[in-house]
Amino acid sequence: SALSASSIRQQFSTDINVQISAYGIGFLRHVNTLLACNGDAPDVGLHEGGYLYLATAAGEATLRENHALQKRHGADVALLSPQQLSGRFPWLALQDVVLGSLGLSGEGWFDGYLLLTALRRKAQSQGVRYVAGEAVGLQMARSDGVQHVTSVQLKSGDALPCSYAVNAGGPWAAAIAGWAGIDLPVVGKRRTVFHLASPAALPGCPLLIDTSGIWLRPEGKGFICGFAPQAGDDADFAPLEPEHHAFEDHVWPTLAERIPGFEALRMQGAWAGYYEMNTFDHNAIVGLHPACDNFVLANGFSGHGLQQCPAVGRGLAELMLTGRYQSLDLSPLSIERIARNEPLLEKNVI
């Protein structure tokens, strides 16, 4: 998560994801009080700069459909014509663009590492104990045809007894689920983030989602950007080496065409990390597994994990403490949709 673009948006194509983000932005806005610890109020540097999706004629209908869904849930988003886009962002070249969707508030970026640090410190202040060790298996029991996790086995030989075992294994979640005999369609997909410097001034620059799928946002005095490889070039668990060739061959030329001022762009650095990609429908898999009464899933977020963790963490805490979701029903994300072969497809995967 610390390697991610650390951003949050309301512009999703499924009801549950928009609802999750509505809670997430409220959490981030009040993180200084919610995660205050011993008088220290953390600041995660939230900047509500918005997301801007651009669409060609081929994508216009989908953008309008998604916009209507987002507005039904109270998202502060606006559709902009090419003329309106040029007025707001004169540095954009819009020759192929017929429509844009801009988040006016409730979207932006933050410091993901500081958020993770603040969450950990707050948990420790409330009695949570972190154990350093490599988990290698689950000890299971069976009753009335249903499995039950009794402990987590560590490589050291120790075992950690548990009332619940939560699979938050990121891209390696499928291996953990396998310890309980569960198939999980989650794999690691490499994504590269490029750190850029440019003399071009882009006043009011939001997090831009180009029609090509390339994304860009401000970071300090420069920018960061990334892209999604074509399916044939997107191997599972590819080595975590930045794809520098893709920047030279694809990313830079595409950005320079969209933002003419980026012809003098320089790449200052790059890093790579894994998306925990749910290959079934690119949406999170959340909740108890029906074949194991205390094995909880928080997996397959497909690039949305950091922004969705406040709402999902709250929901799973409610589920384990009270037996059901209280604040927001996360059952649309249950693994049972996979058994029914009923994908909850998210169109806006970056």
- pLDDT for position 232: 86
Q: Which of 316, 349, 309, 317 is CA-nearest to residue 331?
A: 316
Residue 144's pLDDT band, with cuts at 50, 70 and 90, is confident
pLDDT digits (tens, 9 = 90+) for 188-232: 999 999 999 999 989 999 999 999 999 999 999 999 999 999 888
Q: How many helices (H) and strands (E) does the chain have?
A: 10, 16
DSSP string computed for 186-242: EEEEEEEEEEEE-S---TT--EEE-TTS-EEEEETTEEEEE----GGG--BT--S--
Q: Which domains does the chain have, with CATH numbers?
A: 7-114+189-265 (3.30.9.10)
- pLDDT for position 231: 84
pLDDT digits (tens, 9 = 90+) for 26-81: 999 999 999 999 889 999 999 999 999 999 999 999 999 999 999 999 999 999 99
**Three-class DSSP labels, 261-305:** HHHHCEEEEEEEEEEEEECCCCCCEEEEECCEEEEEEEECCCCCH
The tokens describing 264, both together, are: 């003098």
- pLDDT for position 59: 96
Mean pLDDT score of the chain, rounded to an integer?
96
Instruction: Flag whether pLDDT at 1 surpasses 80.
Output: no
Residue 255's pLDDT band, with cuts at 50, 70 and 90, is very high
CB 167 within 8 A of CB 299: yes
Which residues pair with residue 37 across a beta bridge?
40
CB 217 within 8 A of CB 61: no
Instruction: Flag whether pLDDT at 297 surpasses 80.
Output: yes
CB 162 within 8 A of CB 189: no
Mean pLDDT, residues 308-313 taken together: 98
- pLDDT for position 2: 81
This prediction's pTM: 0.95
- pLDDT for position 157: 97
Helix/strand/coil for 29: helix
Separation of alpha carbons 213 and 196, rounded Å = 18
- pLDDT for position 310: 97
CB 189 within 8 A of CB 173: no
> CB atoms < 10 A from the CB of 125, how many?
13
Residue 254's pLDDT band, with cuts at 50, 70 and 90, is very high
The tokens describing 275, both together, are: 């998306």
Helix/strand/coil for 151: strand
Residue 187's pLDDT band, with cuts at 50, 70 and 90, is very high
Residue 16 phi/psi, 5-degree rounding, is: -65, -35
Helix/strand/coil for 166: strand
